[in-house]
Structure 1
């Protein structure tokens, strides 16, 4: 069975029952968000769609918290690392061979109003690594059965100029241990390391496994409640204009600092994950 290629599809931010608050905050951060969507599984979301990947605010509306309840028990903030695939069934076979398989591939959908006013179902098939293999979060593969219902050009223009997710950061006291599950997942992929940190190329993005000190040095903060166990902690974002991102943060009254030609927003101001805006 051919092994999958590491390529970031999207990231998930667990906002649980605080969708309205999260929507407001991420608009203030300068993201254009899609209209609220409602999955056939019971969850609801907003997306910030970029060139090669996207950011998902995932939560539930009043009365729907019992559905997908296992997700809401994980820490708030960044909790989903999602990989691209064109064949979820083949990935599942690979996961079974690596003793990483969770449940069988799952198909679901959500209705979408496209920019031209037409309605379409966005349909997906996902397959997840077994829960115990990914502490404090989830990692899974997503096959887009209707990619045109997600990657619409009109949704890819953001007031803060962000064009792609550049870095996905996992903080851990033992980065090599945190990375080991992904080494099993992608046996022939190379993880590059320096000063105790490891990095895995994932398409145009990089998944980084950093010590807490390294996260603080590069991103300025850690998620609330971090205890040293592996935790999805921060995102690096590529913007076409750092000045545009700066102006949007000021307009949105979002505190930030400038360091090494980047803008840093602390976890306390971005729904429990740190953000770092880099110029393209």
Structure 2
């Protein structure tokens, strides 16, 4: 299936050390820094079936990759999984979806056993003008064994997987129409209050009007920083609320509690509102 979430991207730009420290405080174990053949750097938080990526440059004040340079610090990348990036790109182009050709790249991965191996990927990217103000693409893992390592999948906050992506948009139906063209008419359903929801395996991608998102998130909302339609909140499933709350308190992380979730304001998580969801 090509509508399963592979990972989500939090841009940290040239603040990689600050971003890594912030997300470690939130209870995530991060992989050693990797450097892509495309010129960027990252840390990953590997979950059960997907992962989170802190993406930027390892050089303070350093140049950013051209495709990520326009975006501010925050949640800007939604990535789906594919088993064949070239075939996916061809199929989507045949549907009239503006997607570019597959691109191959790699990064050295320092593995827990002390060896270094190349993690290799192919991606196919949607034209940035076609959807929300962020990056949407598909990732084919050629060496998944160098990403989903059991040693990296244990987090003190009990994180298990991506559960919800909330986007703040002007017109949810516009976004829904694009995602129906990509994934099929049955893939997107109507939600309450004019929302549209894409079921992505065990996760939901939700498009909601700006006013509804502002009302839901309140002071926890991220700064749009010039973005229009944008990714506003990441929800991560966890083992238990008490376990996660204890991990957050140890590191003096501010959070609020609501039925079934703990909410981290965007100012604590590199301009990304974050829900831990039981």
Tell me the distance in 1 between the aligned counterparts of 2:152 and 2:101. Answer: 32
Q: 1:82 aligns with which of 79, 83, 87?
A: 79
Tell me the distance in 2 between the aligned counterparts of 1:222 and 1:178. Answer: 21
1:259 equivalent in alignment to 2:258: yes
1:181 equivalent in alignment to 2:178: yes
Map Cα deviations across residues 197-220 of structure 1 (whole Å, 9 max, x no partner).
111111121111122343345444
Tell whether the 8 Å contact from 2:57 to 2:63 is kept in structure 1 after alignment. Answer: no
* Higher alpha-carbon deviation: 211-220 or 258-267: 211-220
Match of 1:123 in 2: 120
Match of 1:277 in 2: 276
Q: 1:204 aligns with which of 185, 202, 205?
A: 202
1:27-176 matches, cutoff 5 A: 27-62=24-59, 65-176=62-173
Match of 1:239 in 2: 238
Tell me the distance in 1 between the aligned counterparts of 2:72 and 2:227. Answer: 14
Tell me the distance in 2 between the aligned counterparts of 1:274 and 1:70. Answer: 23
Map Cα deviations across residues 242-276 of structure 1 (whole Å, 9 max, x no partner).
11111121122211111123111111211111111
User: Cα offset for 1:99?
Assistant: 2.8
Report the TM-score, using the length of structure 1 for normalisation. Answer: 0.93
User: Cα offset for 1:227?
Assistant: 6.8
Map Cα deviations across residues 165-189 of structure 1 (whole Å, 9 max, x no partner).
1001111132222232211111243
The runs of 5 or more residues in structure 1 that have no matched partner are: none
Tell whether the 8 Å contact from 1:88 to 1:126 is kept in structure 2 after alignment. Answer: yes
Sort the Cα spacing of 1:86 and 1:162 in 2 relative to 1 into closer, same or farther, 3 A. same
Tell me the distance in 1 between the aligned counterparts of 2:61 and 2:35. Answer: 11
* Higher alpha-carbon deviation: 98-107 or 155-164: 98-107
Runs of 4+ aligned residues of structure 1 deviating over 6 Å after TM superposition are: none
Tell me the distance in 1 between the aligned counterparts of 2:257 and 2:50. Answer: 25
Secondary structure of 1:132's counterpart equals coil
User: Cα offset for 1:9?
Assistant: 0.5
* Higher alpha-carbon deviation: 187-196 or 86-95: 187-196
Secondary structure of 2:105's counterpart equals strand
Match of 2:3 in 1: 6
Secondary structure of 2:246's counterpart equals helix
Tell whether the 8 Å contact from 2:72 to 2:225 is kept in structure 1 after alignment. Answer: no
User: Cα offset for 1:196?
Assistant: 0.6
Secondary structure of 1:75's counterpart equals coil
Secondary structure of 1:57's counterpart equals strand
- Give the total of aligned pairs: 276
**RMSD of aligned Cα (Å):** 1.8
User: Cα offset for 1:66?
Assistant: 3.3
Tell me the distance in 2 between the aligned counterparts of 1:227 and 1:18. Answer: 19
Secondary structure of 2:136's counterpart equals strand
